[in-house]
Structure 1
Amino acid sequence: MTNQVQRYGQQDVQILKKESLYSGFFNMVKYAFKHKLYKGGWSEVIEREIFERGHAIAVLLYDPNLDEFVMIEQIRIGAFPTSESPWLLEVVAGIIDEGETAENVCRREAEEEAGVKIKNLTKALSYLSSPGGTTERLHIFVGEVDATQAQGVHGLEYEGEDILVHRVSATQAIEWIEQGKVDNAATLIALQWFTMNKQKVLDLWENE
């Protein structure tokens, strides 16, 4: 095959206008833009409303001694229309504030949401959560923790967080994926990536 993959880049897009539609905890921006076409020339002006919520981390907490994950459960109102329960089984996650590093957010959120401290931290990958409608990029990490310290209810009251901590065996977590009990993107991606790269991560931690 001779098709060139990703032949275009940022230089092949013209941002003509950015208009703020809403500014609050999150922002909504209307873009007007043109882009190069595969058949040659330029597109007509396209307008899209884009949700801008910043960028975030998600960290899969794992205890290699017990072969257990530390996961959390909390309500997500966005799941209400399509889920039997809007209380989701998730990995720890959080938004990267200005001046913070992704690694610092992983460690902060692990303590705030799960009550555990991260010993070793490994970057897995990053992905765009829904690039047709938001600029958000999510960075996935795996963190080594002591699962015996994970218990109780956590979260920041002023942010309305009510987070229940679970210790989950690696086998149980995979079964939850197969049963559809884990159905949010960050958790699915983190668990599947770790399953494929487990030995590499454990070797890295052993040498640190």
Structure 2
Amino acid sequence: METNMRGVDEPDRRGRTGLDRVGRDLTGNPSVRVVDVEVLSSDWHVTRATTLEVRNDDGTWSTQRRETYDRGNGATVLLYDRERRTVLLTRQFRFPAYVNAHPDGMLVEAVAGLLDEDAPEVAIRREAEEETGLVLGEVEHVFDAYMSPGSVTERLHFYAAPYTDPGRGGTRAGLVAEGEDIEVVEFDIDEAVSEIGRTIIDAKTIMLLQWAVLTGPFAP
């Protein structure tokens, strides 16, 4: 499909071209053939419409069109103090939540961010320092997960790491240049778990807290 969309033949604002070729060479599933890829938007992230041919159970083929939002992959980390039974989280404004019925858009979350071409562990160390001021020591990879696989391509790498700074809660951090104003908040682990579904409604944070009490540092 001919188009003059930035990111196809001419560079987008991140200097990328050829964004319409992503997915065309996939061969892992013989029942799926990529027919066409159209770049719908390319600002900082990329939205594509991909036309697929999919083989059904009866052997017939159907044509489908799927939109995907590609923001890159990310990483998140649960900071914990096993001895004090605490976790260190953040509170910050999230406009997508605010515009979709959250009362004030202020979400309590585990530290997280996009990889931005870094390896996952490198990225999460960077994000932890930016969002909490902590320099991490030992970091444990917990699992990976696709957070919204119906439309978002992002794969999130989950980590956990100990911290030993009881005075960090109540401080503020974040990159001013990126508009970040982040409050660092410390929770007792039992309190944090009890707040799931109430003040803690962020999916990655819920997953890490549940891991922490089931098989992680606070497991029985």
TM tier relative to shorter chain? 0.7 to 0.9
Alignment of 1:23-102 (within 5 A): 23-43=42-62, 45-80=63-98, 81-98=100-117, 100-102=118-120
C-alpha distance in 1 between matches for 2:59 and 2:164: 56
Flag the 1:167–1:199 CA change in 2: closer, same or farther, 3 A: closer
The aligned amino acid for 1:187 is T
C-alpha distance in 2 between matches for 1:103 and 1:149: 25
Q: Deviations along 1:98-150, whole A, 9 cap, x unmatched? A: 2x110011111111001112222111111111111111111111111113252
Flag the 1:10–1:158 CA change in 2: closer, same or farther, 3 A: farther
In the alignment, structure 1 segments of 5+ residues that lack a partner are: 1-8, 202-208
Query: Secondary structure at 1:158's aligned position in 2?
Result: helix
2:130 aligned with 1:130, yes or no? no
1:182 aligned partner? 200
Q: TM-score, normalised by structure 2?
A: 0.81
C-alpha distance in 1 between matches for 2:183 and 2:41: 33
C-alpha distance in 1 between matches for 2:36 and 2:84: 53
Do 2:79 and 2:160's aligned partners in 1 also have CA atoms closer than 8 Å? yes
1:14 maps to which of 33, 39, 55: 33
C-alpha distance in 1 between matches for 2:218 and 2:166: 24
2:162 aligned with 1:147, yes or no? no
Runs of 4+ in structure 1 displaced over 4 angstroms? none
Do 1:116 and 1:146's aligned partners in 2 also have CA atoms closer than 8 Å? no
2:128 aligned partner? 110
Flag the 1:200–1:73 CA change in 2: closer, same or farther, 3 A: closer
Aligned-residue Cα RMSD (Å) equals 1.8
User: Between Structure 1 and Structure 2, how many residues are aligned?
Assistant: 191
Query: Secondary structure at 1:198's aligned position in 2?
Result: coil
Query: Secondary structure at 2:37's aligned position in 1?
Result: strand
Q: TM-score, normalised by structure 1?
A: 0.86
1:6 aligned partner? none
Alignment of 1:161-200 (within 5 A): 161-177=180-196, 180-199=198-217
Query: Secondary structure at 1:11's aligned position in 2?
Result: coil
Query: Secondary structure at 2:160's aligned position in 1?
Result: strand
Identity of aligned residues (%): 31
Q: Deviations along 1:65-101, whole A, 9 cap, x unmatched? A: 2111010000001111222231000000010112x11
In the alignment, structure 2 segments of 5+ residues that lack a partner are: 1-27
C-alpha distance in 1 between matches for 2:184 and 2:135: 14
1:4 aligned partner? none
Alpha-carbon shift at residue 10 of structure 1 (Å) = 2.5
